[in-house]
Structure 1
Amino acid sequence: MRIYGDLHIHTALSSCAQEDMTPNNIINMALLAELDVIAVTDHNSCGNAEAVMKAAEGTELVVVPGLEVQTREEVHVVALFEQMDQALILQGEVYAHLPGRQAPPKILQRQHFLSEDDEVMGYCDKLLGFASSLTIEEVFRLTRQLGGAMIPAHIDRKSNSILSNLGFIPEDLDLATLEISMYAPRSEYEAQYPRHRILQNSDAHELGHIGIVSNVLDLKVKTAAEVIHLLNTRAAT
């Protein structure tokens, strides 16, 4: 089964995202873009993933819960899961390794917890835009132990990427999938990393970017579990 997915989308919980990145707006834009599956990946948190999943109920859209973790090395990695409770466990670990001080009001008021009806339910007082003290190896191990898939994010970028900050893809992590940004030349990265699956996601922080690029995923069935299995499987060479 060939399905279309955009597996890196932020909500208004990420302070750098626009305030109209609400559950229903995200779902409606994904449906307009004719996507089959999306992933919710706010910075260092999965606090709005369940609301987006609930907003998608009654549609054909599959929502994969996740978060975009900033590691100690200031590398961004996307961690995706089959179930919400798995994502929440990783979130708890990440929260415990963020800076201890509370987010100042200017940031706090831009980190919205939302309901499935797009109502503001509160604000996250964590410094979500900061690096955690978890290493990339620790995030990889935790994600895999919880049954998820970890993907280095936007590896083509000159900051906050595994290549810009580490300079290489660690072979001991057994990474199956790498992500490039919406503007990267996909064919070049596929040629450079033939043993890895290359995702090209929108990393949407605004509604107009949802589905601007998508991935064709060959799945047996359209479920979050099948997405995770695929992302943990090396590309055929």
Structure 2
Amino acid sequence: MKYYYDLHIHSNLSPCGHKDMTPNNIVNMAYIKKLDVISVTDHNTCCNFPAVEKVAKARNLKVIPGIEVNTKEEVHLLCYFKSYKNCKSFSRKIYKKLPKIKNKEEIFGEQVIYDENDMVLGKEEILLTNASNISINEVIILVKKHEGIVIPSHVERKANGIIGVLGFIPEENNFDYIEVTGKISDELLKKLKNKYKIIRNSDAHNLVEISERTNYLELEDIEDLFL
């Protein structure tokens, strides 16, 4: 079965996310674009997942619990989980690894937690985009303990991409998938395709950027992503 997806979307809980990136707006845009499955992967937190999931049920849209971790190496990793319970447990552990630096809204933007009606439940005070005090290898181990998978984010980028930061993708990390979000050279793409399955996401920070019905995963069930 083909699942058309966008598994890298930021809500307004990420300070870099536009104020229009509320649960209802995200889900409705994904519905308009006829996507089957999405994931809201905010920086170092998953607090908006419950609201997004509730809204998505009315649209028959699957939502995978996820989070984008910024490691101590300044590498971004997408972490996905079978259940919100596991994602929440993992997220709490990552949160404890964040430096306790307060967000400055006038500089970085708001970090808003919503309910399913887009009503504000609160705001996260700690700046979420900072690097957490946890390594790539430690993230992989912790995600596996929580029955999840790790996918390196936007590997084609110099900033926060694993190749741009480390210069290579460590073989011992045993990634099945890697993510591409933007333009990538044919040479690099061919090289990566020989070793990894490629996920193409939007890394959307505003509604327009959410993926069109273009990229799909061909799986018996979407949970086969975790096999």
Q: TM-score range by the shorter chain?
A: over 0.9
Q: Within 1, Cα distance between the matches of 2:55 and 2:49?
A: 10
Give matches, 1:43-192, under 5 Å. 43-106=43-106, 110-184=110-184, 188-192=187-191
- CA deviation map 1:126-148 (0-9, x unaligned): 22010001001011111111111
Q: Within 1, Cα distance between the matches of 2:105 and 2:12?
A: 15
List alignment gaps of at least 5 residues for structure 1.
Answer: 230-237
% identical aligned pairs: 40
**TM-score of the two chains, using structure 1 as the length reference:** 0.90
Q: Within 1, Cα distance between the matches of 2:182 and 2:25?
A: 21
Structure 1 runs of 4+ with >6 Å offset: none
Number of residue pairs aligned between Structure 1 and Structure 2: 226
Q: Within 2, Cα distance between the matches of 1:188 and 1:14?
A: 33
Q: Does the aligned pair in 2 maintain the 1:69–1:76 contact within 8 Å? A: yes
- CA deviation map 1:191-214 (0-9, x unaligned): 112120111100000000111474
Q: CA RMSD in A?
A: 1.7
Q: Does the aligned pair in 2 maintain the 1:201–1:214 contact within 8 Å? A: no
**TM-score of the two chains, using structure 2 as the length reference:** 0.94
Q: Within 1, Cα distance between the matches of 2:132 and 2:46?
A: 15
Q: Does the aligned pair in 2 maintain the 1:108–1:125 contact within 8 Å? A: no
Query: Does residue 224 of structure 2 align to residue 226 of structure 1?
Result: yes
List alignment gaps of at least 5 residues for structure 2.
Answer: none
Q: Within 2, Cα distance between the matches of 1:104 and 1:127?
A: 8
What letter corresponds to residue 17 of structure 1 in structure 2? G
What letter corresponds to residue 201 of structure 1 in structure 2? N
Q: Within 2, Cα distance between the matches of 1:13 and 1:46?
A: 9
Cα gap change, 1:108 to 1:54, in 2 (>3 Å): farther
- CA deviation map 1:44-87 (0-9, x unaligned): 11010111011111222100111100000000010011110111
Cα gap change, 1:33 to 1:107, in 2 (>3 Å): same
Q: Within 2, Cα distance between the matches of 1:109 and 1:153?
A: 22
- CA deviation map 1:96-147 (0-9, x unaligned): 1100233335368600001111111100112201000100101111111111
- Using the TM superposition, name which of 206-215 and 192-201 deviates more: 206-215
